[in-house]
Amino acid sequence: MHYKRKRIVVALGGNALGDTLPEQMAAVKITAQSLCDLIEEGHQVVVVHGNGPQVGMINNAMSALSREDPRQPNTPLSVCVAMSQAYIGYDLQNALREELRNRGFVRTPVVTVVTQVRVDEQDPAFLNPSKPIGRFLTKEEADEQAIKYGHIMREDAGRGYRRVVASPKPVEIVELDAIRSLVDAGKIVITCGGGGIPVVLRDNHLKGASAVIDKDFASCLLAKELDADMLIILTAVEKVAINFGKENMQWLSELKLDDARRYIDENQFAAGSMLPKVQAAMDFVSSGRERTALITELTKANDALNGKTGTLITP
């Protein structure tokens, strides 16, 4: 078999980062080992990560600040996403740098790009905000937040009220040219963190949007724009399954596009977890010749790439 070095966009799930500062510090070490396994094989790796717990934590901290100090306005969600990109990137690039040097890669630069991702102001997602962020609130606290900041609050499964925001599709990666230059020059780039800072375009002004972009869809767009060979989505399970959690559950080693469409029609994949991963993988695979995608567990990335595990999505 002819071995081909691949350009790979890797989308890291929440389990790659932990939920708290100390957890993240520990988690990125394991994550760096998995990514460096791919780099050591000679592949060109571009890293995208989620930011669910981190952006929630920052959002809560900034909300507390605005409650304590009346002069501090509430921090827009787009700014919270920017903060999370830099803070996660800092931990991740340090862990990658250290792991690379431990393996003898002394001149391999790792860089984080604070990335804006444009969404369409007319995206129907803005009419139906559904992505919960921030902490659980009482009815009184939720009403106050709605009046004070114009936030949309929803009751969440009997656990209290939370702010909900839109999750529009990414349409353009604003810093793409810079990202492409860095990747072409052989740098390891961490980009589109948390799906990107959501912005809408008004004349020449990029305005932050109250939204969160799904990092799997942002990874798919990035992989297409960089003409990557493969999109790898790392998550908490080793393979995609149908009839998940049932007696007739079946793990899938390969998933063809037609079968994937059929399973989606059968509602086989949960909307908040596996569905966007499968959809992003399908979108990338169908976008060009010889493009494939892999969905697997974080520590199994290299094994999956070598055909030992994971779910390979093919045309």
Q: Which positions are annotated as active-site residues?
A: 14-15, 131, 215, 277
Count of CB atoms within 10 A of residue 139's CB? 11
Count of CB atoms within 10 A of residue 215's CB? 29
Phi, psi of 233 (to 5 degrees): -110, 115
CB 133 within 8 A of CB 55: yes
Distance in angstroms between the alpha carbons of the first and the last residue of the chain: 20
CB 189 within 8 A of CB 237: no
Phi, psi of 40 (to 5 degrees): -65, -30
Rounded-to-5 percentages of helix, strand, coil across the chain: 40, 25, 35
**Of 168, 258, 299, nearest to 221 (Cα)?**
168
Strands 197-202 and 116-119: parallel
CA 205 to chain centre: 25
Task: Please classify residue 181 by burial: count the beta carbons closer than 10 Å to its beta carbon, then call 0-12 exposed, 13-18 middle and 19+ buried.
Answer: exposed
Distance CA 201, CA 209 (A): 10
Indicate if the alpha-carbon torsion angle 251, 253, 259, 264 is positive or negative. positive
